Amino acid sequence: MQSGRLSDFAYSSIKEQLTRGAYKPGHKLPIRSVAEMLNVGATPAREAINRLVFEGALVMVGPKTVIVPHLDLTALYEVTQMRLALEGLATERGTLRATNDVVDKLLALQEKITLSLDERRYSDALHDNKEFHFTIYRLCEMPRLLSTIEALWLRVGASFHDLYPEFAEAKYGVHNHLAAIEGLVDRDPSAVRAAMENDIRDGYRRLKKAAQERLKRQ
Amino acid sequence: MQSGRLSDFAYSSIKEQLTRGAYKPGHKLPIRSVAEMLNVGATPAREAINRLVFEGALVMVGPKTVIVPHLDLTALYEVTQMRLALEGLATERGTLRATNDVVDKLLALQEKITLSLDERRYSDALHDNKEFHFTIYRLCEMPRLLSTIEALWLRVGASFHDLYPEFAEAKYGVHNHLAAIEGLVDRDPSAVRAAMENDIRDGYRRLKKAAQERLKRQ
DNA sequence: TTCATAATTTTGTTATCACAAAAATCATGA
DNA sequence: TCATGATTTTTGTGATAACAAAATTATGAA
């Protein structure tokens, strides 16, 4: 179940819950409740929560209240800009180190994604979509860059997770992913970057639209 | 002296020490020592240290040993690439919002920097250099971007701080800063970005060279 | 001296407790 | 019904102690 530090276990657990959309925006995360739920003491729970606040995955709305962040279009925009810059960098660097094995893996992933979308298994599609992106980003072998990008994904993932299903419906991304794969085959950094940027921007627009509609309904 | 949370106080204190180069690379930071030095309990000290480890400003070299990172050219390169991407973004966005007041402030800062360099007050020069950069970055009003950039500065600042004096000697940067100011006057985003990128790259090269020479000497 | 090993000290982690402050609940009056 | 103030509960923070494991030092043999 858990190995080593309880703080890390608590951190991973909450993070996992967040990326699975287990908590609705606004949901409170008091230390003692988290501690009880995970069967750990207050100290590891506290540490995990604070770390997630530092990373921006959770927000403090009062001196003693940490919640799952509400939809925040400003944050979404800002994170998108940072994603374009950093994932663009990772993509260009990665393309130069691409191998045929990676291309095959991406093709397989893309087939899985398409299948998942057809069968409306959005959660699976989103999971493999993330794997698709990070398979490319991992190529550049820049661990610090990678962890920064991961933090950005978590940031929007937390508050926008429940929008992803309606976001995935549109099947945006398929075309961009295929373009990215073609660019990788050609070892053409700027082509792959353009495809990935397009993917990020499409996602941003779709997510923003869904968020605006939801905000209007309430 | 300290207001509110002791953890934050401890965090800021250590961070301050790091950016001032108070600790040599390899210096150990055991919880209890830090706690005693800052006159706080173990909990705040522990929290501050862990946070700095997460951010990459300190490194864990064993299950129970946290040290100030040694010179690491790989990390320097990686952080530089991220800086180019993120500070480039901040610069372009900021340029669009530049005002004459900001230009005046930058001119004043640049005069201070030049004076400090002439009088060999490198610490002052470096401080104002940072202020110069962040005065531009603050313009875009993207707080999440800004804090990410700050973390990057801290990252290299910690292990490369004692190289900055010999780095500053060369007076690199002056020309780039002036070019940036001119670009701001013209409200020309890509001009300012080019100047800032050049500044970052010059700094990287100088720092890398100094680090290599030092590594050779030992 | 050098290296492996044993003894000792140091250290990180976690649970627990006390306290002050914040948040929630309730009561009251218009 | 709603605002407002008082009361109760909940909560984050920080100190402390116990424990296991790591780091350090001491030891001894080759």
Q: What percent of chain A has pLDDT over 90?
A: 76
Q: How far is B112 from chain A (nearest CA, A)?
A: 32
From residue B103, give the alpha-carbon distance in Å to each of A147, B91, B181, B182: 35, 14, 7, 9
* Euclidean distance between CA atoms B88 and B70, whole angstroms: 27
Same domain for B90 and B186, yes or no, is yes
Strand C bases contacted by the protein (CB, 7 Å):
10-17, 21-24
Q: CB–CB of A89 and B88 under 8 A?
A: no
Q: What's A183's domain CATH number? A: 1.20.120.530
What pLDDT shows up at residue B163? 79
Is residue B159 domain-resident? Answer: yes
Comparing A94-108, A153-167, B188-202, which segment has the lowest mean pLDDT? Answer: A153-167
Q: Which residue of A has its CA nearest to B7?
A: A50
Is residue B1 domain-resident? Answer: no
Mean pLDDT of chain A, nearest integer: 92
DSSP A172: T
Q: Which residue is nearest to nucleotide D23 (CA to C1')?
A: B64
Same domain for A49 and A86, yes or no, is no
Q: Which domain holds residue A24?
A: 6-67
Same domain for A63 and A77, yes or no, is no
Same domain for B42 and B107, yes or no, is no
Residue of higher predicted confidence among B41 and A120: B41
Q: What's A42's domain CATH number? A: 1.10.10.10
Model confidence band, residue B172 (pLDDT cutoffs 50, 70, 90): low
* Euclidean distance between CA atoms B136 and A44, whole angstroms: 39
**Residue A45, pLDDT above cutoff 50:** yes
* Euclidean distance between CA atoms B19 and B58, whole angstroms: 12
What pLDDT shows up at residue A218? 65
Please say which residue of A67, A84, A100 terminates a domain: A67
What pLDDT shows up at residue A31? 98
Same domain for A118 and A199, yes or no, is yes
> Per residue in B98-111, pLDDT tens?
999 999 999 999 99
CA trace torsion B98, A87, A59, B153 (10° rounding): -60
Same domain for B26 and B99, yes or no, is no
Report the number of distinct structural domains present in chain B: 2
Same domain for A51 and A145, yes or no, is no
- Return the number of CB contacts < 8 Å for A and B: 53
> Per residue in A101-137, pLDDT tens?
999 999 999 999 999 988 888 888 888 999 999 999 9
> Per residue in B57-99, pLDDT tens?
999 999 999 999 998 999 999 999 999 999 999 999 999 999 9
Over residues A181-208, the mean pLDDT reads: 96
Residue of higher predicted confidence among B121 and A32: A32
Q: CB–CB of B85 and A89 under 8 A?
A: yes
What pLDDT shows up at residue A120? 85
Same domain for A186 and A101, yes or no, is yes
**Residue A2, pLDDT above cutoff 70:** no
Q: Residue B66 pairs with which residues in a beta bridge? A: B60
* Euclidean distance between CA atoms A133 and A81, whole angstroms: 16
DSSP B5: -
What pLDDT shows up at residue A166? 74
Is residue B161 domain-resident? Answer: yes
Same domain for B56 and B110, yes or no, is no
What pLDDT shows up at residue A3? 47
**Residue B2, pLDDT above cutoff 70:** no
From residue B196, give the alpha-carbon distance in Å to each of B79, B110, B125, B179, B200: 15, 14, 17, 9, 6
Please say which residue of B50, B67, B84 terminates a domain: B67
- For strand C, list residues 14-43 of chain A whose Cβ lies within 7 Å of it: 28, 35, 40-43
**Residue A216, pLDDT above cutoff 90:** no
Mean pLDDT of chain B, nearest integer: 92
**Residue B174, pLDDT above cutoff 80:** yes
Instruction: Kindly state the tokens that stand for B204.
Output: 């990287």
Sign of CA dihedral A67, A68, A73, A76: positive
Is residue A168 domain-resident? Answer: yes
Tell which of A148, A150, A153 to mutate to test the B interface (max B CBs under 10 Å): A148
How many Cα neighbours within 13 Å face the side chain of A149?
A: 26
Q: Which residue of B has its CA nearest to A46?
A: B47
Same domain for B62 and B110, yes or no, is no
Comparing A132-146, A150-164, B41-55, B103-117, which segment has the lowest mean pLDDT? Answer: A150-164
Residue type, A104: D
Q: Of chain A residues 55-84, which have a CB less than 8 A from chain B? A: 56, 75, 78-79, 81-82
- Taking the C1' atom of every nucleotide in all shown strands and the CA of B10, the nearest one is D14
Q: Is the CB of residue A145 less than 8 Å away from at least one CB of chain B?
A: yes
Is residue A1 domain-resident? Answer: no
What pLDDT shows up at residue A147? 96
Model confidence band, residue B218 (pLDDT cutoffs 50, 70, 90): low
**Residue A1, pLDDT above cutoff 50:** no
Same domain for A12 and A52, yes or no, is yes
Please say which residue of A30, A46, A67 terminates a domain: A67
Same domain for B90 and B165, yes or no, is yes
Q: CB–CB of B89 and A75 under 8 A?
A: no
Q: Is A85 exposed, middle or buried (0-12, 13-18, 19+ CB in 10 A)?
A: buried
> Per residue in A154-183, pLDDT tens?
999 888 887 777 777 767 678 999 999 999
A37 touches strand D (CB under 7 A): no
What pLDDT shows up at residue A19? 87
Best-predicted range by mean pLDDT among A175-179, B22-26, B208-212? A175-179
How many Cα neighbours within 13 Å face the side chain of B79?
A: 27
**Residue B117, pLDDT above cutoff 90:** no
What pLDDT shows up at residue B86? 98
